[in-house]
Amino acid sequence: MNVERKDDAETARTRQVPPSLVLAAGWAWRLLVLAAVLYVLVRIASRLTFVVIPFVVALLLCALLHPVIARLSRWGMRPLAATWITMLLSLVVLGGVGFYVGVQANAQFPRLAAEVQQTGRQVQDWLVHGPLHLKTSQLQRYVDEGVKYLEERRGQLAGTAVEAGRLTVEILAGFVLMLFVLFFLLKDGGRIWRWMIGGLGPYRARVDRAGRAAWRTLSQYVHGTVVVAAIHAITMAIVLTVLGVPLVAPLAVIIFLGSFIPIVGILVSGALAVAVTLSAKGIWAALIFLGLLLVEQQIEGHLLQPLVVGRWVRLHPLAIIMAISVGGVLAGIPGAALAVPLVAVVYRVIPALRADPVPAAAAPAPADPPQADDSSDDRRRDEEGETGA
């Protein structure tokens, strides 16, 4: 009897709480748990930046190069040979572009310095004889203050040089690690994915479906972004060449890389190109380049992005800005660059996880594995192992 009375009292107290408050409390503690988990994951990733960034870059490059591996495999080439050929071709292309950019920068930098000096003299003449009527002594004082500031910061610049050397070593080590990870993702991506989901039991099919949706979204984003970035960089390079601006190749590479950060990257790389054009060719050439840049940006945002990237990563501009802002605050430039593809992948994975399993009779043909497929011998060994299990 006492137990029944306690249960009735507990039920009565529960009924006094509004159902909406009970629902809100349930959502609140669940969201707090998710926020705590995300915070711990971000802290771990920040501690393992040297490992996380090379792995993420290798994953993006794997999504970019996977069609080459698939084409070579369809031609009858074994995964090991196809992987080596793909990576060597990629390194040759990357090295060729880097060599050309370095040669052009070394050859045209003196020209840029001379043009900047000429533009500086023109600006100084305009400040003295223009509507501001500044005195030459005032300008000279500003220049002397700038030189004094640089001399005072000489020790800090030396420390910065040491820090830059350490950062260079870390970048080279991360690049080597990225190459190793990329090699095995291209060669054994299918086996790695099957091993990861092999112990999930009844959830294996659901996770496999979500992983394939995430891979399709990531591949679509990488391929579409590369195409759009290439079109943007080539167009701006042609404009810079017509205007006679030096350092066209380095600026085109910067614009290409900036296109991987939606909206923000275009603004930063475009501002740098406008500044170089202003320093080298004056105000009118800079205004012409700025106008063409804005027109091309509108064409890219309203035509190229919807057509090339497609429906897989169609996100609202507000979602893109918020994702870039949060990613930049949490992880700096790498976080801003990876925020949009991460949001797009999560946006596609959640419906795939929540969807009901497809009956075996109505299931479609299996899609390609998330990465490069294995050889027939490896696939046969995997199937025999699953059958024996």
For the cut 80, the answer to whether the pLDDT of residue 83 exceeds it is: yes
Per-residue pLDDT tens digits for 303-327: 766 666 655 566 777 777 787 788 7
Q: Say what the pLDDT of residue 129 is.
A: 65
Residues ≥6 apart with Cβ < 8 Å to 101: 249, 250, 253
CA angle, residues 267, 270, 274, in degrees to nearest 5: 130
Least confident range from 134-138, 164-168, 272-276: namely 134-138
- Other C-beta atoms lying within 10 Å of the C-beta of residue 2: 6
Q: Say what the pLDDT of residue 34 is.
A: 87
In the predicted model, what is the mean pLDDT of the chain? 75
For the cut 50, the answer to whether the pLDDT of residue 376 exceeds it is: no
Q: What sign for the dihedral angle of Cα 325, 327, 332, 337?
A: negative
Residue 84 vs residues 33, 38, 115, 221: alpha-carbon distances, Å: 44, 37, 45, 25
Judge whether 294 and 306 are in contact, CB under 8 Å.
Answer: no
DSSP state of 357: P
Pick from 179, 180, 227, 188: which is nearest to 370 by CA? 188
Residue 320 vs residues 72, 243, 316, 323, 338: alpha-carbon distances, Å: 36, 33, 6, 5, 11
Token duo for residue 104: 């052009």
Give the C-alpha separation, 254 to 37, whole Å: 36
Q: Say what the pLDDT of residue 155 is.
A: 52
Q: Say what the pLDDT of residue 356 is.
A: 64
Of residues 328 and 33, more confidence is placed in 33
Residue 308 vs residues 84, 129, 226, 237: alpha-carbon distances, Å: 29, 52, 10, 21
Residue 339 binned pLDDT confidence (cut-offs 50, 70, 90): confident
Per-residue pLDDT tens digits for 174-188: 888 989 999 998 888
Pick from 211, 191, 197: which is nearest to 375 by CA? 191
Q: Say what the pLDDT of residue 24 is.
A: 86
Per-residue pLDDT tens digits for 342-370: 888 888 888 887 776 554 444 444 444 44
Q: What percent of the chain has pLDDT over 70?
A: 68
Judge whether 77 and 358 are in contact, CB under 8 Å.
Answer: no
Per-residue pLDDT tens digits for 225-274: 888 888 888 988 898 888 888 888 888 888 888 888 776 777 888 888 88
For the cut 60, the answer to whether the pLDDT of residue 146 exceeds it is: no
Judge whether 205 and 387 are in contact, CB under 8 Å.
Answer: no
Token duo for residue 280: 């080298």
Give the C-alpha separation, 301 to 267, whole Å: 13
Residue 374 binned pLDDT confidence (cut-offs 50, 70, 90): very low
Token duo for residue 243: 């205007």
Q: What sign for the dihedral angle of Cα 264, 260, 220, 295?
A: positive
Residue 18 amino acid letter: P
Report the interhelical angle of 264-281 vs 79-129 (nearest 10°): 50
For the cut 50, the answer to whether the pLDDT of residue 76 exceeds it is: yes
Token duo for residue 53: 């960034």
Least confident range from 21-25, 159-163, 229-233: namely 159-163
Judge whether 326 and 295 are in contact, CB under 8 Å.
Answer: no
Q: Say what the pLDDT of residue 134 is.
A: 61
Of residues 16 and 369, more confidence is placed in 16
Of residues 45 and 316, more confidence is placed in 45
Q: Say what the pLDDT of residue 345 is.
A: 85
Per-residue pLDDT tens digits for 203-213: 888 888 888 88
Token duo for residue 167: 């950062």
- As to burial, measured by CB atoms within 10 angstroms (0-12 exposed, 13-18 middle, 19+ buried), residue 116 is middle
For the cut 80, the answer to whether the pLDDT of residue 148 exceeds it is: no
Residue 221 binned pLDDT confidence (cut-offs 50, 70, 90): confident
Mean pLDDT of 40-52: 82
